[in-house]
Structure 1
Amino acid sequence: MSDLIRVAVLGASGRMGAQTCAAVEAADGLQLVARLGRGDAPGAGTLAGADVAVDFTVPSVTEANVHALLDAGVHAVVGTTGWDDASRGRVTEHLGRVNAERAAAGLGGLGVLIAPNFGLSAVLAMTFAAKAARYFESAEVVELHHPNKVDAPSGTARHTAAAIARARAEAGLGPSPDATESGWEARGADVDGVRVHAVRLRGLVAHEEILFGNEGEQLVIRQDSFDRASFMPGVVLAVRSVGSRPGLTVGLEHVLDLS
């Protein structure tokens, strides 16, 4: 990839897409070359020679968009949620085929970076939670978002809970204590054994609380995004980084130096 990174934005007419367009235009070394809205299919004709495309669309189309971007030879940065193991697995398989063909042609590999959250504070909260998880008997996650969000729990909360579950398993911890026998619907979603609760409330943007408990003590990690502008440094960092990370990367924490 040349020093100048040409960027296309999918979902450019949405709130996150519009903010991303403005951030790309303001960033040194990035050039916005295409704005794709609803009904614009990503392909050679619409991507205008982009090196990287940022997807802020909706869960129902984001996987298909990523496959189309790979077929067009474009790196993908994805902020749309709704991904699961199966959809990520299909992208990994597609990347393997495409990058094998590119290697045979003497071309560099393509990268896809799926970030459940681009907020640096959110990424740090998730990282801290994974480190804390092994030391507490109980763990639960509460995510709070605006009522226009179409999926629940949020991708951020799922990512957080999965990381907590992995850390607990590595530490040899069993399930969190819970004597519930009825009314399980009130206990939230089960993400790898960690309960996740979703709130949808007018006036909110994106917020998360991670709660840990032991006998006689509690740790609460809370992250608040009050404005979508808070996500833009992470988006720009992802755009600049994805070209050097062939294959699938899930989570912005892998791009940050959090060792």
Structure 2
Amino acid sequence: MTEAPTADRIHVVVAGALGRMGAEVIKAVVGAEDCQLVGAIDTTPGKEGVDVGEALGLGVLNVAVTADLEGCLCAVSQALRDKGPGAGAVMVDFTHPSVVYANTRAAIAYGVHPVIGTTGLSPEQLQDLQVFSEKASVGGAVIPNFSVGMVLLQQASAAAARFYDHAELTELHHNRKADAPSGTCIKTAELMEELGKTFNPAEVDEHESLEGSRGGVRPSGLRLHSLRLPGLVAHQEVMFGAPGETYTLRHDTIDRSAYMPGVLLCIRKVRQLGALVYGLERLL
């Protein structure tokens, strides 16, 4: 962090700054008049100390890439230590499922509001982070998907689940996504399951000649399928079936820029939260 922060703007740190989503977030933050990029965290070998703007082809931004997450969080926290409630820095995380829990907990510990786009947190980890953030009075947001269109699909799926007893979910992503099924798909299933009903009652004695070919089964009976192929970005389909008809809901992300309005919305609202929330619909 080499540029002196401006007090009247939201100070933003991006973890996973050189990744595909991290790069989009940096472009969005730099282009937002009410935000200021103050930290860029990334562990890519050979990039320590490089100006993140130059690394991404955006020109000089006077923010150096660092692999020291805690050091960066400490520095931005100290820069705002006298600003009071609702004026802290924000960390946007698009890293890896193996480190997202530790990153989120570290941000809360330093008083930096986490906005987490990395999926892969277990229900137990999410619960622990919610308790920790509430005790620390540091609001945060875990967002499986930043697309407003996806939130609409999830709400439509939850509504349709009232009328259909048979449903299966399929999510399709690029082949560099580490976790399966996606957090977005899990969140969609959770919203459908809030009715408390059981789906897909068995009508035959099924068997798989190839294990896993029928997808993963949740306790509710919902089946989730994951596809990973180069050329895909992020796509989800929820198909409902009933005698004589099917009803299909689908959302396709064509470009990662589709997520940026949701990311900026979270950056602007997360500092007013008293604890960690789960899902973009909690901030709309």
Change beyond 3 A, Cα 1:220–1:29? same
For residue 77 of structure 1, what is the aligned residue in structure 2?
A: 115
More helix by share: 1
The equivalences for 1:172-211 within 5 A come to 173-178=197-202, 179-183=204-208, 185-193=212-220, 194-211=222-239
Residue in 1 that maps onto 2:105: 67
Bigger relative CO (Cα 8 Å, ≥ 6 apart): 1
Q: Displacement of 1:85 after TM fit? A: 1.1
Q: Give the conservation status (yes or no) of the 8 Å contact 1:161–1:192.
A: no
In the superposition, the TM-score normalised over structure 2's length comes to 0.81
Q: 1:140 aligns with which of 168, 187, 194?
A: 168
Flag as ranges the 4+ runs of structure 1 deviating above 6 A. Answer: none
Q: Distance in 1 between matches of 2:268 and 2:76?
A: 21
| Compared CA separation, residues 245 and 133, structure 1 to 2 (3 A) | same
Residues 1:5 and 1:250: Cα distance change in structure 2 (over 3 Å): same
CA distance in 2, matches of 1:114, 1:59: 13
Matched, 1:36 2:41: yes
User: Identity across aligned pairs (percent)?
Assistant: 40
Aligned to 2:27: 22
| 1:3 Cα deviation from its structure 2 partner | 4.8
> Which segment is superposed worse, 174-183 or 120-129?
174-183
Could you tell me which residue of structure 2 aligns to residue 156 of structure 1? 184
SS in 2 for 1:187: coil
CA positional deviation for 1:181: 2.9
Contact 2:153 2:251 in 1 (8 A): yes
Q: Which runs of 5+ in 1 are unaligned?
A: 100-109
Task: Verify the 8 A CA contact 1:111 1:248 in the aligned structure 2.
Answer: yes
Q: TM-score, normalised by structure 1?
A: 0.88
Does 2:102 correspond to 1:97?
no
The structure that has the greater radius of gyration is 2
Q: Which amino acid aligns with 2:207?
A: S
Q: Do the aligned partners of 2:77 and 2:111 also contact (CA within 8 Å) in 1? A: no
SS at match of 1:177: coil
- The superposition leaves residues 112-169 of structure 1 with CA deviations (integer Å, 9 ceiling, x where unpaired) of 10010001111111111111111102111000011111111011111111111223x1
The answer on whether the counterparts of 1:118 and 1:235 sit within 8 Å (CA) in structure 2 is yes
CA contact (8 A) 1:40 1:46 kept: no
Deviations 1:15-64 (A, max 9, x none): 10011011011112111111111233233137674611101110010110
Q: Give the Cα–Cα distance (whole angstroms) in 2 for the partners of residues 147 and 212 of structure 1.
A: 27
- Number of matched pairs: 241
Contact 1:207–1:223 (CA under 8 A) maintained in structure 2? yes
Structure 1 residues 46 and 243, CA gap change in structure 2 (3 angstroms): closer
Of residues 238, 243, 261, the one that matches 1:215 is: 243
- 3-state SS in 2 of match to 1:185: coil
Superposition RMSD in Å: 1.6
Q: Write the distance in 2 (CA, Å) between the matches of 1:242 and 1:34.
A: 18
Matched, 1:125 2:125: no
User: Is the CA contact 2:134–2:276 (under 8 Å) kept in the aligned structure 1?
Assistant: no
Describe the shift of the 1:48–1:23 C-alpha distance in structure 2 as closer, same or farther (beyond 3 A): farther
